[in-house]
Structure 1
C-alpha cells in the first residue's frame, strides 16, 4: 500500500534523499562503465593511428574522414534510436546498443583499406547512436532536477576514465604486436570491442526502467522518487514542454544544439589527437609511455568533474561557471600550441578540465526545459547535431595543419570553437541559465514556454 505523505514534508524529503542516494550508487556506476566503453571505442583510433596507418597504408586524409564519418551515422540514427528507447525501455535498448557496437568495433581489426575503414566506422556510429542521449534521458527517469548537476558531473567521468585507464590499456595492447599472429592494433580493437559487448549483456540483467520496477529499492523510497519525478513532468506539461513536435518548433533547441556542437569540436579534437600530440611533445612513439602521460590531463579532469558541476548548480550560477569552463578549453589549447612539453601538458590539463565540466553543466539546461517525448527526441537532436563536431574536428584540424604547415594551426582552430561555445553560453537567458531550479526551499523560476503547444 502506498504511503500517503505530503510533498515537501520532512518524512517525504528524507525518503526522497535516501532514494536518490540509493539510485545514485546503484545506477550511475554502471552508466559510467557503459559510457567509458563507448568513449574508448570512439577514441581508441587515436592510439592506433600510427601503427594502423603504417600497417595498412591508410592515408592521413582518409583516416581523418573515417574518424569523422562515425558521427554522421551517429547523427542520422540518433533521434529514432532515442525515441525507440523511450518506447521499449532503457534495459533492452541500451543493452542492444552496447552489444552491437562492441561487435562492430571488434571488426575494425580487419579494416585494411580506406573504404573498409570508413564503412566500418559508419556502421559503428549507427550502432552506437542513442547511447549518450539515452543515458541522459534515463537519468531523468531516476533523478529530480536538483540532483542532476551532480549526477551528470559524475556520469561524465566515463570519458576521462576511458582515456585515463583506456590509454595505458590501448598502449599495452599495441605493444603486443605479433601475439596470436595479429598486429597490436588488431588486438586492441578486438579486446576492447568484445569487452563492450560483454558489458551490454550484463546491462540487460542489471538495469531496470523506472523506480517502480526496482526490486532493490524499498517500496516507500521508490514511491517518493516517482512522486517527485511525476511532479516535475506535470510542470513541464503545463508549459508545453513534453511534445517532440513542439520542441522542434522552439529556436532554443537549435541554440542548445549549436552550443553543444562547438563544445564537441574542441572535445573530440583533443580526444582523437591527444596521444599523437603527447607523442610529438616527448619525441617518442605512441605506446605505454605515451598512454600513461596522456592519462594525466584526464585524471585532472576527473578531479574537477567531481565537484565543479554540482557546485555550479548549487550556487545557481550555472551559466557563469560554464563560460569559465569553455574559456579554459580555449586558453589551454592556445597555450599548448607553442610551449615546451611540461607547460603544454599543464595547459592540456586545463583543457580537459574545461571539457569535463562544461558538458554536464550544459545538459542541465535542456534537462530542465524538456520532458516526455520532447526530452527523448530533443536530447537526441542536440546530441546528434552536437556530435557532428566529432566529424568536423579531425577534418578541420587536419585541413588547418596542412594549409598553414603547422600543427599549432589545428590547435588554434579548436581553441576558437571553445571561444564560440563561451559566447553561446553567455547568450543563454538568465531565467533559464542561472535559475536555482530544483534547490530545496527555492522554487524554480518558470521557464519560457515553447512557441508551439501540441
Structure 2
C-alpha cells in the first residue's frame, strides 16, 4: 500500500513541480549567459576588448556571491512562492536594462545588478526540491531541473543569433533587441510563480489526503535522521567542512560551465562562420549532454553513490577542455565542446544531492547557498581569465588550460572527500528501499 502511495505521490509532484521549474531555470539561464551572443556585435559597437567582456560577464557572480546566502535564508523564512516571484521580476527588469549600456562602466554595473537580482534563485530551487522529494530520488529530479541549463543553450543559441538580425529596426542594435525580448518571459513568469507554486507539502491541496500525509511524514522522518544541531544553526550551514569542500568542487565546475556559456560562441566565431551558424553549432553539444546528464544521474540514484559520479564527470570535462584548446577545425571543436558539456552537466546533479543529505532546515538553506555562492565565483574566475589571457596571447588555449586545471582540482578534492566522508554522503540503498 505504501509503495502505491509513494508512486502516485511522486508522479503527481513530479509533473506539478519539475516541468515548471525547468522553464524558470531555462529563462534564468538564457538571461544570464546571452551576453556571449550579444558580444558577437556588441563588442564592436561599444569598443569592448576581450578583457572587458570577460570581466563584465564574470562580475555577475560577485553580486550573486554577496547576496546568495541572505536571499536563501529569506526564502526559507517567507516561502518559495513569494521570494522566487520577487527574484524573477527583479532579474527580468535588470536583464532588459542591459539593452541600454553605453560604456564598460555601465556594462559592469548592470551585470553586477543582474547577479544581485538573480541571487537565491538556483539554491532556492535546490532547497525547494528538498522539501518535496526524498533524498533517494533527488539526483534524478535535480538532473531534470538542471537539464534546463543545456536546453537553454540549445534554444537560446539560435534564438539569440536570430534576434541579432533585428539590427537597425527602430534605430536599435540587434543585441539591444535581444536583451529586451529575452527578458520579457522572466517578468511574466514572476507573476505566474506567485499563483502557481506551493511552499510546502502540507499546503498542497492538489494532493489527495493520503498522498499529502505520506509525503509530510516521509520528509519529517528524513529530517529526524539529520544532526539536530545542524537543523537549526545558520552558522553550521556556513562553516560545515563538507559544505566548504563541496563549494570548492563546485568552483571548478562553474568555471567550466561559464567558460562554455560565455566564450564558446566567440571561439566558434573565430573559425570564420556567420553568427547564425554560431547559434546552430553552439546548440549541438548541450543537446547531447542533456541525455547523458539524465542517464548519469539515474545511475547515481540507483547505486546510491554520489562522489565518484562527480569526480569522473569533472575529469571528463577537463579532458574535453584540453582537446578544445588544440582544435582548429569545426568537427574537432564540436567534439571537444561536446565532451566538456557532458562532463560539466553530469557532475552537477549528484553534487547537488549531497548537501541536503546531511543538512536540513535553515542550515540547509545557508549550506546550499554557501556552496552556490562560493562555487559560482568560478563563473567569475573562468571568463575573466580567458578574456585576459586572450588579450595577452591572442589565443583562447591558455585560458582553456587554466579552467581544465580547476576541474582537475575539483576531481581530486571530490576523491579526497569520498575517502574521508561520513556515511551520509552516500544514500544507502538498503535504508531507502
TM-score of the superposed pair, with normalisation by structure 2: 0.96
1:447 corresponds to which residue? none
1:275 counterpart = 2:265: yes
Q: Distance in 2 between matches of 1:178 and 1:335?
A: 39
- CA distance in structure 2 between the aligned counterparts of 1:121 and 1:17, rounded to whole angstroms: 43
Counterpart contact for 2:51–2:391, Cα < 8 Å: no
User: Is the CA contact (8 Å cut-off) linking 1:319 and 1:433 kept in structure 2?
Assistant: no
Distance (Å, rounded) in 2 between the aligned partners of 1:313 and 1:60: 41
Corresponding residue for residue 374 of structure 2: 385
Q: Is the 8 A contact 1:317 1:434 kept in 2?
A: no
Alpha-carbon distance change, 241 to 212 in structure 1, aligned in 2, over 3 angstroms = closer
Match of 1:216 in 2: 206
Q: Which residue of 1 aligns with 2:278?
A: 290
Q: Which of residues 285, 293, 300 is equivalent to 1:312?
A: 300
- Picking from 84, 92, 99, the partner of 1:102 is 92
The alpha carbon displacement at 1:401 in A equals 2.8
Please list the CA deviations of residues 56-88 of structure 1 after superposition, one character each: whole Å capped at 9, or x if unmatched: 223332222211111101000001100000011
8 Å CA contact 1:318–1:433 kept in 2: the answer is no
Q: Conserved in 2, the CA contact under 8 Å of 1:365 and 1:432?
A: no
8 A contact 1:315–1:436 mirrored in 2: no
| 1:334 aligned residue | 322
| Aligned mates of 1:205, 1:172 — CA distance in 2 | 33
Structure 1 alignment gaps of length 5 or more? 1-10, 445-454
SS of residue paired to 1:135: helix
168-177 vs 399-408, which moves further: 399-408
1:366 corresponds in structure 2 to: 355
Q: Tell me: CA distance 1:79–1:239, structure 2 relative to 1, closer, same or farther (3 Å).
A: closer
Query: 2:223: which partner in 1?
Result: 233
Cα contact 1:71–1:125 (8 A) shared by 2: yes
Q: Which residue of 2 aligns with 1:87?
A: 77
Higher deviation after alignment, 102-111 or 421-430: 421-430
Structure 2: give runs of 5+ residues left out of the alignment.
Answer: none
Q: CA deviation at 1:318?
A: 2.3
Deviation at 1:14, TM superposition (A): 2.0
TM-score by length of 1: 0.91
Q: Distance in 2 between matches of 1:341 and 1:72?
A: 34
Q: Give, in angstroms, the shift of residue 436 of structure 1.
A: 4.8
> Aligned equivalents of 1:389 and 1:237: distance in 2?
30
Measure the CA separation in 2 of the matches of 1:75 and 1:290. 31
Retained in 2: the 8 A contact 1:72–1:125? Answer: yes
CA shift for structure 1 position 435: 5.8
Q: Which deviates more from structure 2 when the two are superposed, residues 305-314 or residues 118-127?
A: 305-314
Confirm or deny: 8 A CA contact 1:242 1:370 kept in the other structure.
no
> How many residues are paired up?
431
In 1, distance between residues paired with 2:151 and 2:62? Answer: 25
Instruction: Using the TM superposition, give the Cα deviation of residue 205 of structure 1 relative to its aligned residue in structure 2, in angstroms.
Output: 1.2
Considering fraction of residues, name the structure with more helix: 2
* SS of residue matched to 1:284: coil
1:413 equivalent in alignment to 2:406: no
Match of 2:291 among 289, 292, 303: 303
Q: CA deviation at 1:324?
A: 1.5
CA distance in structure 1 between the partners assigned to 2:221 and 2:331 by the alignment: 51
Change in CA separation of 1:279 and 1:405 when aligned onto 2, cut-off 3 Å: closer
- CA deviations over 1:167-212 (Å, ceiling 9, x no partner): 1110100011122321110010000111111111111111110112
Question: In structure 2, what is the equivalent of residue 47 of structure 1?
Answer: 37
Residue 172 (structure 1) aligned to one of 162, 169, 177: 162
Give the distance between the partners of 2:134 and 2:298, measured in 1 at CA.
Answer: 14
How far off its partner does 1:249 sit? 3.5
Two-structure CA RMSD over aligned residues (Å): 1.7
Partner Cα separation in structure 1 for residue 229 and residue 2 of structure 2: 26
Report which stretch shifted further, 390-399 or 23-32.
Answer: 390-399
Moved more, 127-136 or 264-273: 264-273
1:375 and 1:436 map into 2 onto residues whose CA distance is 17
Find the counterpart in structure 2 of residue 64 from structure 1. Answer: 54
Q: Does 1:31 align with 2:17?
A: no
Choose 401-410 or 359-368, whichever is displaced more.
401-410
1:145 corresponds to which residue?
A: 135
Pairwise CA distance, 1:390? 1.1
Residues 251-285 of structure 1 show CA distances to partners (whole Å, capped at 9, x for unaligned) of: 2221111111111111111111111112123x123
Shift of 1:13: 2.8
